[in-house]
Structure 1
Amino acid sequence: MYHSTGQTELYAVEKVPFKWVISNFSYCSDETGDFIQSSAFPLETKSEKWCLRIYPGGLDAACKNYISLYLMLVSSYKTTEVKATFQFSLINADNMKIITMKFQQPQTFVQGKEWGFRKFIKRNYLFNKSYQLLPNDVITISCDVTSLDPNKFKIAPQSDQIEKTLLSVDCELSKHFEDLFENQKLTDITFCIQGRQLKAHKTILISRSEVFRAMFESDMEESLTNKIEITDIEYNVFKAMLDFIYTDKTPNFNMARELLVVADKYAVYRLKALCEKNIFTNISTENSAEVLILADLHSCDYLKCQTLDFIVTFAKIIIHTEGWKSLEKTHPRLIAEAYTEMVNRQIK
């Protein structure tokens, strides 16, 4: 059974960070193959220059519904070939790295050669305002390049082929809101779950959830009585969601799937995105069919497209698993989507 987990160790010569900001992104050409190229950015030693290329409409027809993103070597003064690893991150409205995709193993670049991701992010996921990835129609991409000495690198056992990372910054405000929730003082709404109660503050909930806003600003009975019965969610899962609403801290991912479901129900989009990424980091050939169903059911565009890519890559193993056989019986539409991806890759 293949798992997308592990670690790669590299001995680096030089690292260079680069941030690329593109305004009015929705007005960029979405024709397949059209690209925008960044300015060249050098290493500190000036021995190499790099640039980024983004394809708003996808690199080719097989990925026309995706944004493609590539790193290209512009020039090298030391050698004709450069070995490097790199990672791309998409930065959201809160200046947080929400999506990070990384080549763990070094790639060989020559002048004009580009390496990257044909399916960096799905277009409808990027343009969904709920995820706040295009604030004021501006896309911000971070790129970290690590240039390697060809005589001084080694690779440890196979690791995460794609690492998704989300950053959490501790601050006093977060701690104060955590205390506010834990102390249960000056609350004005009570949730009754499995014979237990959780008290909260409406103003905080509506600032983080469109669903709570609609609930509390309406004339629903729950809004008038300030008491809500929760019958379809476990106490610990609901409390974990409230913890996140108050603190924005990375949750306990031992119940990532349950949290994804509740985050989807209450439109806590950042929590949902965090859960999607965690679930994908723990995907395997045995559970990939189950993850695909979950992603499709809860409109997780990012998780779904990454899972389809994983299934296509390891199709020879996955089609013999019990999960896949069950998927064939219960979700023929998803089977068709997976086979379409396989055909598109073969054409590519």
Structure 2
Amino acid sequence: MAEHYKISAALVAEERSYMLKLDGYSRTKALVKTGECVSSAPFSVGGHRWAVIYYLNSIVCALYLVLDPAGAKDVKAKLTISVLDKNGEPVPSFSCTIPTHTFSRGVQHCVYSVSRADLEGSVHLRDDCLTVRCDVTVTEEICNEETKVPPSDLHCHLGDLLKNKDAADLTIQVGGQSFSAHRCVLAARSPVFKAELLGAMKENSGTPIEICDMEANVFKSLLHFIYTDKLPPVLESASNNGAGQLAMAGHLLVAADRYDIGRLKLICEEKLCNQIDSKMVATSLALAEQHGFHDLKEACLKFLAAPSNLEAMMASDGFEHLKSSCPTALKELIARILPPEQKAAKDLVMAI
């Protein structure tokens, strides 16, 4: 399934400094009534028009930044206000910075305030003149939308690489059939293949590699998983859910264990655990005992704890194979189904 992501990126559109110089500070203050304001000339930053509105005739002198009401969108901006000294440098004690803030059009946003007494008593009000610098940085969101990202198709590309044999540098012979593969892919997916193909045991690159004790269709399924990280169709098909599928799962489990492909091993073992029946349980138990598949062994023993399942298993074709190949598994089974009070009998069985 495709995933949805909200992609949002911000771009600094423009940074600009605006100088607000109040010549005749006292005269301006005398002309403005308490509560009234004075507006600066408009200026442009980031494609938007702004103005500074200031109140002088109050206990607190306050400056407001106003965005031109024309237009539909709000604007994000960062602002630094500084009173300048005689050298034109910002005075730290009379400066402040407003972090990125959303300015709504036509709304007065207070960005600076200072005690009028402190301001008028400072040396920075020189010759009845005050200079304030406004550094405005406007940011614009260049992308803010939800997009649908398609699911990963890496397995398709690697599957095509296997199917088309493009740049294959390895030939493997299994059960009388030859398979073309890529040394680096096998090494990346299996530590055993890595040791054989790239390590001290590195195979001669010009000589076909022969794998014994494995059927060709099993190795083909193993390659399919190595390249695509997906089960072969024979194990994925819901219509093919019988003994043939379970047999393939068992063979593939052994192959995954042989080449230390952990994810495939877990998948195959879980499939066998979930599909235990009286016909296949003896075969599965023998497989688990011979290769040390603990979870599969436990699932089989629990299934056989029911008398009816045990009787059906003993009548199956796999029982004779279990007796001859895995007598220890049968002894453990007998010890488990004996009542707890028969501990001596259990010990005797395990000692035989």
TM-score band by shorter chain is: 0.3 to 0.5
Q: Larger relative contact order (C-alpha < 8 A, sep ≥ 6)?
A: 1
TM-score, normalising length: structure 2: 0.45
Radius of gyration: which is bigger?
A: 2
Tell me the TM-score normalized by structure 1: 0.46
